[in-house]
């Protein structure tokens, strides 16, 4: 394999939810490695601002709840650049107002459950379905952003976590059905990541509780997840498909209560 396989020169990538947080960090990194980009986001003004700062990028208004909008994203990108090599499904239904409603199943509003699946699972499926003919032509690949909550039980975010678990299985399904055509499909599962939105909205006490269960000495930054996504999208990962890479600082890898064990063991930990 060539030593520059991590590069993305000449490749065309779509990043959904690309205007901020993990999506924006990934857009900047992929652009630095030579990719031409379509930054798709419901926050169109922010997508335009970011696209203007990158060498070869366009902004696309995207509403993942709207099938026509999602299909148009793929068609617009392919028409503008003449090809499609990478689909990074990063957008999701998030925000403080959503988080307040997304608790346990007993108290789950049906409308919230349906909307979460419409955006996260259904929207991702439609994007993949529309992109696959183009990706077959370029032997391209899909990278799906999921969550470490998709592989762990939690007291909250039942709709979000289960919709992300559905995307993990979708990832494996696409890898199995389209690998013979040269198409790879993988998923990256961040843990709590210090995006600007999280810093502004998440209670410090809960953030500290998650940080205490992290095996690193800090929570991840958007750039940490961008590195994983850009690697999976590159030819350096050409033998990796159908995989879930958990990039959560080790939170999902250990027995419960490690923070309490650390406190008990003190300097011997």
Annotated active-site positions, please? 160
Q: What residues does 245 pair with on adjacent strands? A: 188
Strand partners, 86: 13, 141
């Amino acid at each position: 394999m060539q030593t520059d396989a991590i590069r993305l020169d000449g490749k065309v990538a779509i990043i959904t939810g690309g205007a901020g947080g993990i999506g924006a960090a990934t857009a900047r990194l992929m652009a630095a490695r030579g990719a031409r980009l379509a930054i798709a986001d419901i926050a169109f003004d922010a997508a335009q601002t970011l696209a203007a700062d990158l060498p070869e990028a366009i902004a696309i208004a995207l509403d993942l709840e709207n099938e026509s909008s999602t299909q148009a994203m793929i068609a617009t990108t392919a028409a503008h650049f003449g090809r499609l090599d990478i689909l990074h499904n990063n957008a999701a239904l998030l925000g403080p107002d959503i988080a307040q409603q997304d608790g346990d199943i007993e108290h789950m509003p049906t409308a919230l459950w349906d909307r979460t699946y419409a955006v996260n699972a259904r929207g991702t499926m439609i994007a993949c379905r529309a992109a696959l003919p183009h990706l077959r032509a370029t032997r391209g690949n899909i990278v799906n952003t999921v969550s470490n909550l998709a592989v762990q039980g939690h007291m909250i975010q039942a709709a979000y976590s289960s919709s992300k678990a559905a995307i993990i299985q979708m990832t494996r399904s696409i890898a199995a059905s389209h690998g013979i055509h040269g198409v790879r499909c993988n998923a990256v599962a961040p843990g709590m990541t210090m995006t600007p939105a999280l810093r502004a909205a998440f209670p410090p006490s809960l953030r500290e509780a998650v940080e205490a269960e992290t095996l690193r000495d800090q929570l991840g930054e958007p750039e940490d997840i961008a590195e994983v996504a850009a690697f999976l999208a590159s030819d350096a990962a050409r033998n990796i498909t159908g995989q879930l890479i958990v990039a959560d600082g080790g939170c999902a890898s250990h027995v419960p209560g490690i923070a309490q064990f650390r406190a008990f063991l003190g300097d011997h930990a």
